[in-house]
Chains A and B, each alone.
Chain A
Amino acid sequence: MTKSEESATTGADLLVKALIDEEVEVVFGYPGGAVLPIYDSLFKQNRLRHILVRHEQAAVHAAEGYARSTGKVGVVLVTSGPGATNAVTGLTDALMDSIPIVCLTGQVPTHLIGNDAFQEADTTGITRPCTKHNYLVKAVSDLARTVHEAFYVARSGRPGPVVIDLPKDVLMNKHEYTAPPKVAMTHKSYRPQTQPDPKKIEQAIEMIAKAKRPVFYAGGGIINAGPKASKLLTQFVHLTGYPITNTLMGLGAFPASDKQFLGMLGMHGTYEANLAMHGCDVMINIGARFDDRITGNLTKFSPGSKKIHVDIDPSSINKNVRVDLAIVGDAGIVLEELLKAWKAKQPKVDQKALKAWWAEIDGWRGRNCLAYTPSKQVIKPQYALERLYHHIKDKDHYITTEVGQHQMWAAQFLKFEQPNRWMTSGGLGTMGYGFPAALGVQIAHPEALVIDVAGEASILMNIQELSTAAQYRLPVKIFVLNNHYMGMVRQWQELLHGGRYSESYSESLPDFVKVADAFGAKGLRCDDPAKLDDTIKEMIELKHPVIVDVIVDEKENCFPMIPSGAAHNEMLLGPDDKQSAKVSEEGMVLV
């Protein structure tokens, strides 16, 4: 036996070794025929922890929750065929929200590929448009190197999901291990630009300093650039004295309690944030992508402003909105450079103009756009979230959400002081995201209070994960705002489709308390505003997974709202807003 033959191990063992070398601690997965060799290797070691989910979609969302709350790469392991296809929603979600994921999929042996073998699917073909990159490993000699490259691609530049498709024979063949490169990895064709062009930093400083009605607009790119980027952003915003708004993905990038914070912007953003965007003369976009939920009607979007756009992805620049100054680079590095240049130059800001701008903004703030009509008879969803926030704000907490009205209310009424505390499906809008994501967060932060703010419809999309929560004793709290409707669908039907509530009523709902009980979790219910505080306190104190079924006002709508096709200054502020009749034909076509 030669030396190299001696040190050769199976592909599955090489894979596990490569994962450990990539500092992976947890893998979210579900076994099956094609990945049996990997599960065998996992069984024989104790460095990697495997969390068994109950559906592969949940494995990806859990890995996303893990990744978003830690800044690390989330790792998923699923089998071939249905295992891989079930993961597709999660992968697409991670792609849209730029979450670093490495997803290992089993594949039929290489000699069977293309034969319509049992549990065969063209995984690289199916996942090509929903991953940042994907690999089919055809020889065990390529395996370890591919894994290291995949981690590099997933976490560098604009992060995203990467799939590695692993035929079963590759997992069983033997080869020597390839360690990750000792110096920083470089790729032959993939070279993301992280360092900004210094000339553009100069130009940006000049534009920012000359602004009379400026606004910062910061997004998920800040979160992805790490906690330091949030600190730098906060410093820069304080130094300038300018107002700032965050996107849904960017909540926590700037402390919500700060007086310079205008709240979230966009379709359900605050009046002051959207009007500041509409009326500004210089917009400083850092790590956001002018998504359609943010801009509303593009032709009327912030018509009078000069726009600066900082993004690590050159394809985000001038995609939806033409900007005046584009800076390609990592948000953290760009902010560091901006701060340095600002401090060196000490530019004179027009304080008089800034004061007038703040006075205008304070006028908009005075409209108190998140106000709602309180009730003693029925729990208002906004009230439920206000009370929830009251009880958790001093605790070490993380929030995930499903998708719909409850998600927007959570974004409006919960306040985020730090990055990585808020996990929500922004780009894809995946119902069923929040609960498995919360499981991933809880795995990463065992002592923290992790709450999934949910709707009664969304939670049913991945309710099976209660079994996972029970198995690993993950004390995740599911805070269901139960209005017996797919609320956002109902809201649009009310505003756009003449109140014809086609299929949006949540018929035949299960008894969530009994569901919790059946899965070995705890179930609580509350339908009385007077008892809500006690219920929330009980939920927090329970050391179990808990579902709280909060019965809320069925007819409450989420305001403010920019109807589709409308501009930032055409917001609907509440149910009595007279503009509600004016939704254009053009707007109805939009989603």
Chain B
Amino acid sequence: MSKDSAIVAHTISVLVANEPGILARVVGLFSGRGYNIESLTVAETNAKESQSRITIVTKGTPMIIEQIKAQLDRLVPVYRVRDLTVEGPHIERELALVKVKGVGEKRVEALRLADVFRAKVIDAKSDSFVFEVTGNTDKVQTFIGLMESLGLVDVVRTGIVAMSRGGEAL
């Protein structure tokens, strides 16, 4: 595959005015123009200025990624759009709650693996655990994969939040 047609995942950070409909604008832009959303997180990050940060993981060719950024930047309530994937090193984290049901050897193994992955037990019954695991997508994915044979019954994930390394703000 040539460089121009290679599909690559990008993590894009968007600073927006926290006003009604802003999420619908962003999501509608993706669905209306046929772009992919792999993951999306949003929450207010500056109450005084009423600003929210949206972190979007999306996939596309370089031309599509460039379009996505330009289209996002064109939205009136958008302050800034940054492509963390191309703008130097950054850190990504997500959090998952993983519910595992089982007794005996499987239960012990689940707990042992949770310890390896530094997952916390945040709920326990005699036949179940809820683990809280934090990390990059790979780690969370691996942990969930391991739980599958050990009685995995439920998963929720936050999606990715990301930030550039170093002292600069967005």
Binding site for B on A (CB under 8 A): 124-125, 128-129, 132-133, 136, 153, 187-190, 313-315, 317-319, 322
Contact of A313 among B63, B74, B75 (CB under 8 A): B74
A132 & B76 in contact (Cβ 8 Å cutoff): yes
Residues of B within 8 A of A136 (CB): 20-21
B73 & A314 in contact (Cβ 8 Å cutoff): yes
B66 & A189 in contact (Cβ 8 Å cutoff): no
Interface presence of B16 (CB below 8 A): yes
**Taking A124-B21, A128-B25 as contacts, is the C-beta distance between A189 and B70 under 8 angstroms?**
no
The complex places the Cα of A188 from the Cα of B17 at a distance, in Å, of 9
Residues of B within 8 A of A189 (CB): 16-17, 76-79
Question: Among residues 1 to 58 in chain B, which have CB atoms less than 8 Å away from a CB atom of chain A?
Answer: 16-17, 20-21, 24-25, 28, 32
Residues of A within 8 A of B67 (CB): 315, 318-319
A153 & B24 in contact (Cβ 8 Å cutoff): no
Residues of B within 8 A of A319 (CB): 67, 70
Residues of B within 8 A of A322 (CB): 63
5 cross-chain CB contacts under 8 A: A133-B76, A189-B78, A314-B74, A315-B70, A318-B63
Interface presence of B141 (CB below 8 A): no
Can you add 13 more A-B contacts, CB < 8 Å, to A136-B20, A314-B70, A318-B66? A129-B28, A129-B32, A133-B76, A188-B17, A189-B17, A189-B78, A189-B79, A314-B73, A314-B74, A315-B73, A315-B74, A318-B63, A319-B67
Q: A-B pairs with the 3 shortest C-beta distances?
A: A315-B70, A133-B76, A189-B79
B25 & A187 in contact (Cβ 8 Å cutoff): no
The complex places the Cα of A132 from the Cα of B78 at a distance, in Å, of 13
Residues of A within 8 A of B79 (CB): 188-189
Interface presence of B158 (CB below 8 A): no
A232 to chain B, nearest CB (A): 26
The complex places the Cα of A153 from the Cα of B78 at a distance, in Å, of 13
B70 & A190 in contact (Cβ 8 Å cutoff): no
Residues of B within 8 A of A133 (CB): 75-76
A311 to chain B, nearest CB (A): 11
The complex places the Cα of A180 from the Cα of B21 at a distance, in Å, of 25
B21 & A128 in contact (Cβ 8 Å cutoff): yes
A29 to chain B, nearest CB (A): 24
The complex places the Cα of A132 from the Cα of B74 at a distance, in Å, of 9
The complex places the Cα of A124 from the Cα of B66 at a distance, in Å, of 27
Residues of A within 8 A of B73 (CB): 314-315
Nearest-neighbor residue (CB-CB) of B29 within chain A? A129
B22 to chain A, nearest CB (A): 10
Residues of A within 8 A of B74 (CB): 313-315
A153 & B71 in contact (Cβ 8 Å cutoff): no
Nearest-neighbor residue (CB-CB) of B72 within chain A? A315
The complex places the Cα of A318 from the Cα of B60 at a distance, in Å, of 14
B71 & A190 in contact (Cβ 8 Å cutoff): no
Residues of A within 8 A of B32 (CB): 129
The complex places the Cα of A153 from the Cα of B108 at a distance, in Å, of 61
Question: Among residues 51 to 110 in chain B, which have CB atoms less than 8 Å away from a CB atom of chain A?
Answer: 63, 66-67, 70-71, 73-79
A315 & B71 in contact (Cβ 8 Å cutoff): yes
Nearest-neighbor residue (CB-CB) of B24 within chain A? A128
Residues of B within 8 A of A318 (CB): 63, 66-67
The complex places the Cα of A91 from the Cα of B77 at a distance, in Å, of 20
The complex places the Cα of A158 from the Cα of B79 at a distance, in Å, of 17
Residues of A within 8 A of B28 (CB): 128-129
A153 & B70 in contact (Cβ 8 Å cutoff): no
The complex places the Cα of A125 from the Cα of B28 at a distance, in Å, of 10
The complex places the Cα of A314 from the Cα of B32 at a distance, in Å, of 19
Residues of A within 8 A of B24 (CB): 125, 128
A163 to chain B, nearest CB (A): 12
A321 to chain B, nearest CB (A): 10
B76 & A153 in contact (Cβ 8 Å cutoff): yes
B63 & A190 in contact (Cβ 8 Å cutoff): no
The complex places the Cα of A319 from the Cα of B63 at a distance, in Å, of 7
A407 to chain B, nearest CB (A): 27
The complex places the Cα of A345 from the Cα of B21 at a distance, in Å, of 50
B52 to chain A, nearest CB (A): 12
The complex places the Cα of A189 from the Cα of B24 at a distance, in Å, of 17
Residues of B within 8 A of A190 (CB): 76-77
Residues of A within 8 A of B77 (CB): 189-190
Nearest-neighbor residue (CB-CB) of A313 within chain B? B74
B49 to chain A, nearest CB (A): 9
The complex places the Cα of A132 from the Cα of B24 at a distance, in Å, of 14
Residues of A within 8 A of B20 (CB): 136
Residues of B within 8 A of A124 (CB): 21
Nearest-neighbor residue (CB-CB) of A319 within chain B? B67
B12 to chain A, nearest CB (A): 14
A399 to chain B, nearest CB (A): 31
Nearest-neighbor residue (CB-CB) of A188 within chain B? B17
The complex places the Cα of A139 from the Cα of B28 at a distance, in Å, of 26
Nearest-neighbor residue (CB-CB) of B17 within chain A? A189
B20 to chain A, nearest CB (A): 7
Residues of A within 8 A of B66 (CB): 318
Residues of A within 8 A of B70 (CB): 314-315, 317, 319
Residues of A within 8 A of B25 (CB): 128
B3 to chain A, nearest CB (A): 12
The complex places the Cα of A190 from the Cα of B72 at a distance, in Å, of 12
A319 to chain B, nearest CB (A): 6
The complex places the Cα of A136 from the Cα of B25 at a distance, in Å, of 14
